[in-house]
Amino acid sequence: MTEKKPFWETVALADMNREQWESLCDGCAKCCLHKLEDEDDGQVYYTKVVCRYMDDDCRCTEYQRRNELVPNCVWLRPEDIESFHWLPSTCAYRLVHEGKPLANWHPLLSGRADSVHEAGISIKGRALSENFVHPDGYEEHIVHWVE
């Protein structure tokens, strides 16, 4: 008897349905951290400053309206797959795109949404709301724990 492979190993990102696509998100919220890009070399630097709509459990309180409320909000879409290089190395979208396996803490493998927090992968307890940081001060909050 052959073992059925999980959808992320058999379905291309561009071909995933909405449910499959959304379930790939591990809930780490790293993509919701403000990022700075070096104009000279294109290097992306993550800060610990997070969107004002992020709650303490790494969930967007305005997920359905996020792009309306925050026009430059990151919206990961299948048509943008080629630009996923800036995503953290732990991100399932990036891993799947690069043909790499998901980490054992990923909720699709662990069966638990909290496993990403327990593994110390999420921003839980490490971020600062943009409500408390002037945009000119983001540079002071660059972090190196996002790879």
pLDDT, tens digit, 9 for 90 and up, residues 101-136: 999 999 999 999 999 999 999 999 999 999 999 999
Given a cut of 90, is residue 43 above it in pLDDT? no
- The candidate with the shortest Cα–Cα distance to 31, out of 120, 79, 92, is 92
**What is the share, in percent, of the chain residues with pLDDT greater than 70?**
99
Query: Is there a domain that residue 2 lies in?
Result: no
Phi, psi of 47 (to 5 degrees): -110, 170
pTM for the model stands at 0.89
Given a cut of 70, is residue 15 above it in pLDDT? yes
- The candidate with the shortest Cα–Cα distance to 28, out of 99, 105, 129, is 105
Query: Is there a domain that residue 104 lies in?
Result: yes
86/94 Cα distance (integer angstroms):
9
- The candidate with the shortest Cα–Cα distance to 76, out of 62, 57, 90, 91, is 91
Quote the mean pLDDT of the chain: 92
Given a cut of 90, is residue 45 above it in pLDDT? yes
User: What single-letter amino acid sits at 60?
Assistant: C
Query: Is there a domain that residue 1 lies in?
Result: no
Given a cut of 70, is residue 2 above it in pLDDT? no
Overall residue count recorded for the chain in this entry: 147
**Domain enclosing residue 103, as ranges:** 7-141
Residue 103, burial from CB neighbour count under 10 angstroms (0-12, 13-18, 19+):
middle
Query: Is there a domain that residue 147 lies in?
Result: no
Query: Is there a domain that residue 146 lies in?
Result: no
What pLDDT does residue 1 have?
A: 60
Total of domains in the chain: 1
Per-residue pLDDT tens digits for 64-84: 999 899 988 888 888 888 887
What is the average per-residue pLDDT within 49-55? 95
8/52 Cα distance (integer angstroms):
31
